[in-house]
Amino acid sequence: MGFTVKVEGPSTIELGTTSITGVKFRTDIPHDSNARSTDMGSTVTITGKILTAVDGDPFDSTRQLGLWALVPAEKSDCYRKVSIEVIAASQVVRKYTYPNAFVVDYKEDYGDVEGVGTFTLIIKQKKDKMAQVAVEGGYSV
Amino acid sequence: MGLRLKIEGSESISLPETSITSVVFGADIPHDSNARSTDLGSTVLIKGKILAAVDGEAADDTSKIAKWSLVPAENMDCYRRLQIDVVNASQIVRQISVPNAFVVDYQEDFTDETGAGVFSLLVKQKKDKMASLKFEGGFSGE
């Protein structure tokens, strides 16, 4: 199962199947609601590897994710368009599109034992723009 | 993966890849925000070994970190400039500079089973100076 993540803003960040290791989608609805709640949100957790460029390859764009996490709320580019594809057997199983995503957590982890670092990015869709989240899938690549 | 730590303030502290074992960089943003929050912070957790000096070489700088963690808030020296380099295959994968770092936690752990002690240092960037934090990398070095 492969994942591709694309973040479109002032610059485009693209991460492919070699670096993304996991994606988790969840819909946040209050568990204690007695009837369908209007308080609905959506959170995505993306985990992956921070790869070192060898043989003169370009560097991966994980650093751009770190910079996005540090953009202050006063700037409009703290909201970016994120599309995530889950690909298996030449089929796009899911394609999630978050047109106004913002970062709620970003973490990078390095050790002296592993050859690569790892990152965890948690994003949310702006809550008043929940209707714009698109879930597609079930077609070939 | 080689991790290097440099701290500059009233004194210079430098720890090479032989002593640092792990670095975790995190952006602290409230998870329950409905839209992008202005409450943005950054935390760095550094773990490493406390090495004993042999063959008459100088002792490592970990004791200076312990002293830094004890500097009172009234003293301007409690804020120091911290830099972390992540080096791999002659490339600087990350160079994180935290120009106004302060200690929020420092721990040293010694037991009779291990030959070296371990330390863990948790620092934060002064929250009103978040804009001066530098997150660089992706260039060749060495």
pLDDT tens for each residue of B113-136: 888 899 999 999 999 999 999 999
What domains can be seen in chain B, in order of their start residue?
Answer: 2-29+39-140 (2.30.110)
Q: pLDDT averaged over chain B?
A: 92
Using DSSP bridges, classify how beta strands A91-111 and A80-88 pair: parallel, antiparallel or unpaired: antiparallel
Residue B104 contacts residue B123 (beta carbons within 8 Å): yes
| DSSP character string of B115-140 | SSEEEEEEEEE-GGGGGG-EEE--EE
d(CA B97, CA B83): 4
* For residue B27, pLDDT beyond 90: yes
Residue B23: which of B84, B82, B80, B68 has the closest Cα?
B84
Those of residues 111-140 in A touching chain B at CB distance below 8 A are 111-117, 122, 124, 126-128
Q: Is A73 on the interface with B (CB under 8 A)?
A: yes
pLDDT for residue B52 is more than 90: no
Given this model, what pLDDT does residue A53 score?
A: 85
Which two three-digit tokens encode residue B28? 């602290």
**pLDDT at site A99:** 95
Contact with chain B for residue A38, Cβ under 8 A: no
Residues counted in chain A: 141
Whether A66 and B25 lie within 8 Å, measured CB to CB = yes
Handedness of CA A6, A7, A11, A15 (dihedral sign): negative
Count of the separate structural domains present in chain A: 1
Predicted confidence at residue A141, as pLDDT, reads: 84
Q: For residue range B98-118, what is the model confidence (pLDDT) as tens digits?
A: 999 999 999 999 988 888 899
pTM, full prediction: 0.85
- β-partners of residue B77 are none
Please name every residue paired with A127 in a beta bridge, in sequence order, or none if there are none.
Answer: none
Kindly tell me the burial class for residue A110, based on how many C-beta atoms sit within 10 Å of its own C-beta (0-12, 13-18, 19 or more).
Answer: buried
A13 closest CA partner among A22, A4, A24: A4
CB A118 within 8 A of CB A48: yes
The CATH number that applies at residue A133 is 2.30.110
Q: How far apart are CA B24 and CA B103, in angstroms?
A: 15
Asked whether residue B68 carries a pLDDT value surpassing 90, the answer given is: yes
CB contact under 8 A, A106 and B37: no
Question: If you measure CA to CA, which chain B residue comes closest to A103?
Answer: B36
| Candidate from A53, A70, A107 with C-beta closest to B91 | A53
Residue A44's domain comprises 2-140
Task: Decide if A39 touches B, using CB distance below 8 A.
Answer: no
Q: How far apart are the first and last CA of chain B?
A: 14
pLDDT at B84: 96
Show the low-confidence residues of chain A (pLDDT under 50).
none
Q: What is the ipTM of this complex?
A: 0.77
